[in-house]
Amino acid sequence: MNNLITLGEFIIKNQGDFPYAKGEFSSLLSAIRLAAKVLNSQINKAGLVDDLMGHIGSVNVQGEDQKKLDVYANELFVKALKARHQVCGIASEEEEKTITFENEEGLNGKYIVLIDPIDGSSNIEVNVSIGTVFAIYRRISPIGTPATKADFLQPGRKQVAAGYVIYGSSTMLVFTSGNGVNGFTYDPSIGVFYLSHRNIQMPKSGAIYSINEGNYPYFSHKMQSYIEYCKEHDPGTNRPYSGRYIGSMISDLHRTFLKGGIYMYPGSTKAPEGKLRLLYECNPMAFLIEEAGGRASNGTMPILDIQPTEVHQRTPFFGGSENMVRQLEKSLAT
């Protein structure tokens, strides 16, 4: 077990490594930490607190039923980030339009945050792990002016930090600021995140494939062939792989960080661009995956090199062990 280093101590100790630190960035990360603690306490009793589990009868920009916890989580992160006066704008899965803070502190904020407050919220009802995903960029528009569309539509390669919180059997915050990936496990008895997974390195190869095979009839023939490849008997290449699909991207990818493998959400005839959103799901996860030595692709190019055109745009996503993602790319290219 790592000697007991808290997330707060880690941020202070390493803030020299953080881009544009000067304490602003550290304050931004602390806001996310605080919101995660508050949300964790609500999620852990969501089954008991009726007014958090239910649907609210509205749908988000994705056309998905909004649950009360989705809306609660969104409001919580927006408030926590706004209060630190470091952020000039936020884009959220739960908000059709971007939020720009136009008071004095907001106009002078140096950062943009893109967030999916709760990914996989439909899993709450069946007690499957869910998570928060966030990406942090430095604004490109002049300080003192309102955030612009260009601030939000930067390619993933420009992220200064990214992370996720997984609310599961234990709650963890995993993040990178471009100097490797570190995981912090939450001790709810004293409300502290402790460093538990220092410098996470994703295995270069693995023996797990993760995809919703229910969509098999709608995949391209090349995608179908790759799935058959995963199931072929070939002990020399650890096949057939094990199939694991939790239906919660953060849970499937968290397992992939620790055990290796490949998580896939391809395009299909039903959804040509797949289901996952580029800005606040795929880009932050791709930054983390590359920082941990893995690879994240849309099937033909690295996710982080995609130039976004819309805040809520989707992309096919293949992320995990480098050798497996490269094998997948080769399969799709032949």
Which residue ranges make up the site for ligand P6P (CB under 6 A)? 119-120, 212, 247-249, 252, 275
* Cα gap 126→269, rounded to integer Å: 29
Q: Residue 121: CB partners within 8 Å, gap ≥ 6?
A: 67, 69, 70, 130
What minimum distance in Å lies between the beta carbon of 246 and ligand P6P? Answer: 7
What minimum distance in Å lies between the beta carbon of 248 and ligand P6P? Answer: 5
What minimum distance in Å lies between the beta carbon of 123 and ligand P6P? Answer: 7
Residue closer to ligand P6P, measured from CB, 252 or 322: 252
Residue closer to ligand P6P, measured from CB, 89 or 131: 131
CA atoms within 13 A on the CB side of 309: 2
Q: At 242, is the secondary structure helix, strand, or coil?
A: strand
Residue closer to ligand P6P, measured from CB, 191 or 272: 272
Residue closer to ligand P6P, measured from CB, 62 or 145: 62
Cβ(88)–Cβ(99) below 8 Å? no
What minimum distance in Å lies between the beta carbon of 204 and ligand P6P? Answer: 23
* Cα gap 212→252, rounded to integer Å: 11
What is the C-alpha end-to-end distance of the chain, expressed in Å? 45
Distances (CA, A) of 276 to 114, 173, 234, 315: 14, 21, 32, 6
What minimum distance in Å lies between the beta carbon of 154 and ligand P6P? Answer: 22
Residue closer to ligand P6P, measured from CB, 119 or 151: 119
Residue closer to ligand P6P, measured from CB, 113 or 250: 250
180: left (phi over 0), alpha (psi -120 to 50) or beta: left
Q: Are strands 111-119 and 130-138 parallel, antiparallel or unpaired?
A: antiparallel
What minimum distance in Å lies between the beta carbon of 73 and ligand P6P? Answer: 14
> 283 is written with which tokens?
């880009």
